[in-house]
Each structure stands twice: as structure tokens, then as C-alpha cells.
Amino acid sequence: MQMFLAAARLGNLTAAADELGLTQPALSKGLKALESSLGVRLLERGRFGVAPTPFGEALIDHGLVVEAELRNAVAQIEALKGASSGHVLLGCGPTEATRLLPQALLALAESHPDLRVTVLYGLNEALMPMVRQGEVDFALSSVPPPAGSAADPALMHERLYAEAGAVVARAGHPLARRRQVPVAELLKARWVLPRRRELERLAFDDLFRAQQLEPPTAAVETTSTVLMKSLVMHSDTLTFIPEELIHWERSAGQLVTLNVAGPDWTRWVGITRRRRGSLSPAARQLLEQLKAVAAALVSG
């Protein structure tokens, strides 16, 4: 399975053999044995490498989950043997990378200095497939509210805390001096916003529709929160993002939230895991640290 996944990912048998520390004949033999056992061709061989067939594409989805479970099993065996090291693969959203995750990682380094953590950064549209396919142990990001339900039955969510969203402007923005800004006045603004599938963008649109107004068109749509904050900081462009995301810029007097006359919006921060997956001891240690830091942020 590892041979097949490496070959499908790299598209080249020589590169896959090098990555796995095998000779190319040994890799080819293993791939042929796998295809023979399944009775189908998994890879199309061509002049420029290999590509998965439809049968191979079907196997990739399940194979990634199998690989993740084997990785967790090995980690658990090492823990039972008394090994203090481990490796956690984590997906993280931009807001959670502001304070929650850094503080948890620092605490983890104090209590378990030999644990290693790899963090893959992104928005939910990228993170959820990573969780589903076993590319990460779990994701730290937005999760459905208590009254909601998971869109994907293969995933399970654990809520940590709720946080507010806000219209954000640079500190010297003309609207920043206003006690309250009517929603209708925001129609004139230039906006940089998340893409339409993201929770923040849906909440932004609802802010206007609640006033029977058509939401403004974004001048810039992006998955980059760095770009959002940079555009807002250096122009009169506005954005709509969770307040936590500008914690440090607000503390430095660079960005502010506008008091907009409209319904409040909150989102839930939490953990997303595969429903039928397991967690390694290392992943459980990090999860406990995240819960402790989340509780401290809420109480503080």
C-alpha cells in the first residue's frame, strides 16, 4: 500500500523507490503483486511516469486512511514500549494559529520535549479533506454550532469555545471614529473577503440580508488571512473575520473592529477528527494541551 501511495503521489516510479529506500525493480514487483491480488490495474504506465486509473483513485482514498491508522498503531506500540517521542500531524486554521495553537505547543514542549509536531495551515475547505483522508491526525478550526450537524458523516467535531466575528478596519479609517455604523453604509466600502464557501463569508452575507440588502461584491477574495490584514492595514479596504485573528494587531493599535448595527455573529472553534479513526498517544497529549489553553482563553 505504501508503495502504491508513493507512486501515485509522485507520479514516478524512480522517485517513489528513492523515497521508500527501495530499488525500482522491487517497487515494480510490489505494485504488480498488489494489482494481481485486486485483479485490476491501479496505475497507467507512460513515457512520462505513472498515473492512477479509476481503480487506483478509489484505492487512494481508502489507502490514506489505512496508512494513517498504521501510523497511529506504530505510535501506540512505541508508547507501550516506553518511548517518550512521537509525531503529530495537525491541520490548523488561521485564527487558531494566532494564540491557541502557539500556547499549546509551548506547553507541550515543556511537558513532552521529544514530541514532534507538523502543522499544515489552511481554511476548512482544505483542512476537512485532509482529516477525512488521514493526512492529519485532527484539525483545529471552525466546527458546526451546537444546533448544527456535520455535513460529512465520516467526521466528528468537538467544540472548544465560541468567538465573535467583526468588521475590521485600519486604526485611522474614517468609519473607526463612528460610534455605530449602519449596515447600509458598508455597501459603499471596498471589501477583501474569504471565499463564498467559508463560514465567515456566509455570515457576512447574512449581515446584509438581515437588513433586506444585497451583500456587496468583494473586490478581492482570498484564502490568505495575511493578505486580508495587509490590505486593510494599508488602505480603506474592510474585511469581515473573527476578532481573535487580529488580536496582536489590535493590541499594537494597527487594526480596529467597527461597531456595526446588525446581528452579532459567532463561530465555534474546535477539533475535527475522523469518526472511525484513532489518535496516537502523541496526538492525545497535544489535544489535552489545546483543551487546557482553550479553557484559559475563555476564562481570561
pLDDT, tens only, 95-119: 999 999 999 999 999 988 888 899 9
CA angle 56-1-47, nearest 5°? 50
Distance CA 166, CA 241 (A): 6
pTM: 0.67
- Phi-psi region for residue 155, left (φ > 0), alpha (ψ -120 to 50) or beta? beta
- Phi-psi region for residue 35, left (φ > 0), alpha (ψ -120 to 50) or beta? alpha
Check whether domain 90-161+268-299 has CATH 3.40.190.10, yes or no: yes
Judge if 90-161+268-299 and 163-267 fold alike in CATH terms: yes
Using a pLDDT cut of 90, give the percent of the chain over it.
45
Ranges of each domain in the chain? 2-61, 90-161+268-299, 163-267
**Cell (9 digits) for 78:** 512505541
What is the CB neighbour count within 10 angstroms for residue 114? 10
pLDDT band at 148 (very low <50, low <70, confident <90, very high): low
- Taking 90 as the threshold, does the pLDDT of residue 172 lie above it? yes
Q: Which CATH architecture has domain 163-267?
A: 3-Layer(aba) Sandwich (3.40)
At the topology level, CATH places domain 2-61 in Arc Repressor Mutant, subunit A (1.10.10)
CA angle 295-299-300, nearest 5°? 115
**Rounded mean pLDDT of 21-49?**
88
Using a pLDDT cut of 70, give the percent of the chain over it.
94
